[in-house]
Amino acid sequence: MTNFFEFRLYRNGTLIDSVQIARPFIVHKLKTIPPVENETKFFELLEKFLSFSLPKVYDAKALAVELAKRTKFLREVVIEQLQEEAGKPGGLLTGFYEAFRQFLIGGLSQKDFADLYSQTVTYGLFVARTR
């Protein structure tokens, strides 16, 4: 998971490693490209990410269970991100949430939006992978 300043590696919902490679305030406040930090640690995190392989899924039930785990994890991340963006103008997920509430589902709660959003992303990735 990343915002392109900080990278986090999770496995089974547990944070394995994280590294901040740049400071966001330099981009947002100083309007300049930040210098790269922690380059070695970043490459180590990438190596951990790329060296991991998922277990093979051989039937529909196992696939459904694996996709459900990832969807639940993503839902929690979306809820956390919405809470972090609360009260800050220009939040990306908050913008999606407000658009959904305004144009699609009027009484949509943040938790329901997070569930809807995570299911959509998971299904979209699944379909993209099967093609």
In total, how many domains does the chain have?
A: 2
Domain limits for position 27: 1-53
Residues 6 or more apart whose Cβ sits within 8 Å of residue 48: 9, 16, 17
Q: What's the rounded Cα separation, in Å, for the pair 123 and 117?
A: 10
Of 13, 36, 53, the last residue of a domain is: 53
Q: What is the pLDDT of residues 96-113, one digit of tens each?
A: 888 888 898 888 899 999
Which of 35, 53, 71 is at the close of a domain? 53
Whether residues 45 and 75 fall in one domain: no
Say which residues have a Cβ less than 8 Å from residue 18's Cβ, sequence separation at least 6: 6, 7, 8, 9, 45
Are residues 5 and 45 part of one domain?
yes
Per-residue pLDDT of 80-99, as tens digits, reads 888 888 877 777 888 888 88
- The reply to whether 108 and 61 lie within a common domain is yes
pTM: 0.55
Question: 129 and 90 share a domain?
Answer: yes
Note whether 63 and 45 are within 8 A (CB): no
Bridge partners for 30 per DSSP:
none
